[in-house]
Amino acid sequence: MGTFSLDDTIVAIATPLGEGGIGIVKISGPQSIPILGQLFVSPSSTTEPPATDHLPSRRLTWGHIRDPQTNRNVDEVLVVTMLAPHSYTRQDVVEIQSHGGIVAVQRILQLTLMAGARLAEPGEMTLRAFINGRLDLAQAEAVLDIVQARTEAALRVAVEQLDGCLSAQVRLARAQLVDVLAYLEASIDFVEDEIPPQDVVAPLEETAATVEELLATADRGRIYRQGIRAAIVGRPNVGKSSLLNALLRGDRAIVTPIPGTTRDTLEETVNLQGVPLVLVDTAGIRAQPEGEVERIGVARSHAALERADLALMVIDGSQPLTDADREIARLIGNRPSLVLVNKCDLSAASEDGGVPHAALAAGLLSDAPHLSISALTGQGIEEMEHAIVNKVMGGTVIASDTPLVSNPRHQASLKQALDHLRAARDDHLAGTSADLVAIDVLEAVDALGDITGETASEDLLEAIFSKFCIGK
């Protein structure tokens, strides 16, 4: 992205390329209105070229985009101008709304570039909103979270962050630390003057408590934002693919009575009570794979299990446990998991020594919930979904007035701030000199400032905004 500049005018396509009802080209910068004036022709205009600087702000105007070199119309459009500072970037902004389609939108983009605009970098529109003070950094990141939200719960968390709920608490905590830092620095610089004593421990502990409260929401917030990966594992023909289809409410995976039908991992995402759950259907795991293809599939199943946040171990409740079942349980180890005793619709009369096969599963992963299900009939599926959410969320309930910390970067900064707050408190209580205590307080101030952008470096800004799409 290079050195940030607000002096030039940038342009980007703000809608996905392809056939659609509408395509939008967005221009931001000091030359937005003059560039539009070179291209836009309104039937109601009495001037040539039309006086686009007199178009009403934030109102749609009908007309055509015309190629100034050929004097031919490119497309029938609606345009809207948003004059600074009342726009997304707090600059003059123009949106050209054309018919959706690759050719028309790309042609309008080319004409704006020829008229003097520069192609925007990824996230540069939102970067300008941040630099111009319309959004702080946490709010800017929430824009991307809104675009990428996969569930209503994830959207709600992102919108709360965009509204400034997290930023307000972080700013309040940071301001409290700035007051402590000012006192410490004054006591260092003016040793001979009589500076009224000030309580340092209380504000440090109060700020630490606020940071701890925010950190307590981080795991739940991350799940809403990123989702979790759940690997469906088990030996061949226990019903893993049938379970995937049951959770998706459709036939996504091929299901046959032949063991080993699934030879590769298959990923699908489902909205499970507001939690984005990435389901990974894996090849059946057995000690002696039959052939090279199955061997590769089993290896990929092992890899999927290693990357998973949650293991859904499926066993066949109509058959005795096998060594393969026990080996898979061993591979799962201490990973968060559920044991799903499938095929409960089949006769439970089949027993080993008078003990139902489903009861034999109690010895597997004893710390994990055990549920009887039928992926074929749907029996127990709803209870299983509740158990998955309960397992993932840990039964925690976050107060509604506490914003969720959903961004791993924010979590890391909060942890860093908390470490320095605790160090500053302990050092002060131990009688350490004010200048050393001030170092930790300053580090905590900077860590909190990284969240809202007050102390963010240029490298950090580039890393964040490079994740945005062009046009946002």
The pLDDT value recorded for residue 354 is: 47
**Is the backbone of residue 227 left (phi > 0), alpha (psi -120 to 50) or beta?**
left
The tens digit of pLDDT for each residue in 227-246 reads: 888 888 888 888 888 888 88
The answer to which of 123-137, 159-173, 186-200, 270-284 has the lowest mean pLDDT is 186-200
Check: CB of residue 320 under 8 Å from CB of residue 360.
yes
Which residue, among 452, 455, 445, has the nearest Cα to 204 in the 3D structure?
A: 445
User: Which residues contact residue 119 at a Cβ distance below 8 angstroms, ignoring those fewer than 6 apart?
Assistant: 10, 11, 12, 109, 113, 470
Q: Are strands 337-342 and 351-352 parallel, antiparallel or unpaired?
A: unpaired
Helix-strand-coil split of the chain, %, nearest 5: 45, 15, 40
Of 2-6, 17-21, 155-159, 318-322, the range with the highest mean pLDDT is 155-159
Check: CB of residue 376 under 8 Å from CB of residue 242.
yes
Q: Tell me the C-alpha distance between 287 and 295, whole Å.
A: 10
The pLDDT value recorded for residue 251 is: 56
Check: CB of residue 368 under 8 Å from CB of residue 342.
no
Tokens encoding 177 = 């630390």
Domains of the chain: 10-133 (3.30.1360.120), 142-192+408-453 (1.20.120.430), 223-393 (3.40.50.300)
Q: Are strands 118-119 and 10-13 parallel, antiparallel or unpaired?
A: parallel
The pLDDT value recorded for residue 52 is: 62
Run of H or E residues at 276: strand 275-281
The tens digit of pLDDT for each residue in 204-230 reads: 999 999 999 999 999 888 888 888 888
Please give the DSSP secondary-structure letter assigned to residue 18. S
The tens digit of pLDDT for each residue in 390-427 reads: 888 875 544 445 688 999 999 999 999 999 999 999 99
Tokens encoding 245 = 């289809």
CB environment 430-467: b (16+ within 10 A), e (fewer):
eeeebeebbebbbbbbbbbbbbbbebbeeeebeebbee
Query: Considering the chain, what percentage of its residues have pLDDT values greater than 70?
Result: 84
pTM of the model: 0.81
Alpha-helical segments (H) within 369-407: 381-393
Tokens encoding 104 = 């028309």
